[in-house]
């Protein structure tokens, strides 16, 4: 007769296996969302190419979810071709009409894809990865994006991870570290030929899946998760060292530190004639200036001061293509003072349909770290997150003088991605 203890073992193991499967499914969905993010924000009509997908592929599901009425998809399924075709028939005529399944890339015969999505993490040697990326890049339209993931720890061992890091340095237009995937996955987006700046005006802001969603309207940036984890780790270490109540300080600091990196959803105005604030804060200056770092042209500059209580996520004030990004050395004066003009700053130069627009992220007395996530070649939608500054700072938006009229005054409070700070003329 089976004892109660032995009878419980298979049940427990089944529950553990089910929990692991559920976590893996959810993790793969998060990673797939990151891989399909650029395809999903394209308004269409668009064509996508999914490579290495089979029945149940989370990347394929994310790509199908992103299809619009005039969009199409080609899927390279290899040995799973017939099974995948059968699955798509069950999905209904609407999907079956828009998704074509082939066995190999040679059969794809596409006119070129706006996005190529690699359904499985890239592994193997650097040479193999390079050859595969070169082959896939041939299926991209001019300005198209190749999205591929690699295990986050792979770069430590060289091989495919090292090659992807190398190519990202040359062609990368964004990366996302997906910690909730098993194993953690780094997703790279590569653009081998320049995209038109006009396309940015039609794109939706790119979702950043490595941020943690707390509610439908509030995320915490991944920097906040890391900072809170450091605080909690310090608290645990102090407690184990027997430092009496000293451990309470980092433990209690974890929540406010994480809150500093809060990342709320914002309703970006759809009017193409408006310019939105690049950050939350108070307007410090509205003036016409020349900045030697930007050449001889005059700009309308709108400067905004961020206190430590403001949201510090920075957003694109207009839609455009990043054509330059550079850091200027300097001091760390209080951001609300005129001396902050010469603080350390990161400049992002955008090509837009209205001329050159520049955003300067300036450090402050406390702020010493600028996070920038929009490499040269990136397309930024209006209101799209592109970086942050830690612990009090300033953002300056430079617009071509004479092309825009300011809609704010000194002392006004603005909300990043929502408040209209200027309007284009004509």
- Per the CB < 8 A criterion, the answer to whether 390 and 257 are in contact is no
Q: Is 173 helix (H, G, I), strand (E, B) or coil?
A: strand
393 is catalytic: yes
Please state, as a whole number, how many other Cβ atoms lie within 10 Å of the Cβ of residue 313.
26
- CB neighbour list of residue 408: distance below 8 Å, 6 or more residues apart: 283, 286, 302, 414, 419, 420, 421, 422
Write the DSSP string, 98-141: HEEEESSHHHH--S-EEEEEESS---S-HHHHHHHHHHHHTTEE
392: left (phi over 0), alpha (psi -120 to 50) or beta: left
Q: Which of 28, 279, 378, 393 is catalytic?
A: 393
Q: Tokens representing 194?
A: 């320049």
Q: Tokens representing 32?
A: 């797939």
The owner of tokens 């690049």 is 278
Gap between the Cα atoms of 207 and 385, Å rounded: 9
Write the DSSP string, 234-266: HHHHHHHTT-GGGGHHHHHHHHHHHHHTEEE--
- Residue ranges of E strands in 235-344: 262-264, 274-276, 281-290, 298-306, 313-315, 320-328
The four Cα atoms 154, 155, 157, 162 give a dihedral, to 10 degrees, of 120
- Per the CB < 8 A criterion, the answer to whether 126 and 134 are in contact is no
- What amino acid positions are annotated as catalytic residues? 393
């Amino acid at each position: 007769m089976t004892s109660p203890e032995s009878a419980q073992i298979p049940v427990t193991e089944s529950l553990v296996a089910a929990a692991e499967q559920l976590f893996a499914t959810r993790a793969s969905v998060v990673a797939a969302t990151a891989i399909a993010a650029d395809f999903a924000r394209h308004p269409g009509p668009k064509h996508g190419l999914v490579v290495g997908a089979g029945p149940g592929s989370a990347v394929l599901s994310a790509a199908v979810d992103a299809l619009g009425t005039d969009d199409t998809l080609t899927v390279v399924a290899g040995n799973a071709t017939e099974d995948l075709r059968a699955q798509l028939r069950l999905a209904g005529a609407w999907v079956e009409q828009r998704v074509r399944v082939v066995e190999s890339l040679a059969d794809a015969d596409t006119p070129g894809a706006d996005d190529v999505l690699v359904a499985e993490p890239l592994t193997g040697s650097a040479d193999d990865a390079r050859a595969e990326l070169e082959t896939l890049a041939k299926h991209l339209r001019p300005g198209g994006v190749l999205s591929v993931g690699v295990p986050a720890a792979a770069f430590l061992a060289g091989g495919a991870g090292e090659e992807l890091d190398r190519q990202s340095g040359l062609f990368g237009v964004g990366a996302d570290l997906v910690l909730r995937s098993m194993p953690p996955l780094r997703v790279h987006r590569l653009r081998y030929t320049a995209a038109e700046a006009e396309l940015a005006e039609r794109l939706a802001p790119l979702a950043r899946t490595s941020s943690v969603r707390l509610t439908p309207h509030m995320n915490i940036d991944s920097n906040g998760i890391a900072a809170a984890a450091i605080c909690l780790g310090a608290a645990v270490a102090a407690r184990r060292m027997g430092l009496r109540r000293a451990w309470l300080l980092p433990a209690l600091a974890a929540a406010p530190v994480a809150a500093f990196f809060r990342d709320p959803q914002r309703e970006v105005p759809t009017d193409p004639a408006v310019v939105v604030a690049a950050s939350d804060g108070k307007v410090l200056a509205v003036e016409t200036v020349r900045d030697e770092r930007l050449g001889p042209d005059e700009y309308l500059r709108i400067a905004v001061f961020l206190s430590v209580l403001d949201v510090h996520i920075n957003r694109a004030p207009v839609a455009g293509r990043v054509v330059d990004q550079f850091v200027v050395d300097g001091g760390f004066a209080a951001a609300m003072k005129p001396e902050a003009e010469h603080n350390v700053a990161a400049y992002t130069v955008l090509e837009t349909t209205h001329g050159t627009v520049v955003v300067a992220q300036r450090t402050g007395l406390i702020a010493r770290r600028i996070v920038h996530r929009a490499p040269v070649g990136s397309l930024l939608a209006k209101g799209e997150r592109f970086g942050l500054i830690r612990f009090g700072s300033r953002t300056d938006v430079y617009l071509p003088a004479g092309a825009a009229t300011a809609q704010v005054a000194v002392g006004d409070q603005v909300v990043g991605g929502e408040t209209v700070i200027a309007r284009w003329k004509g």
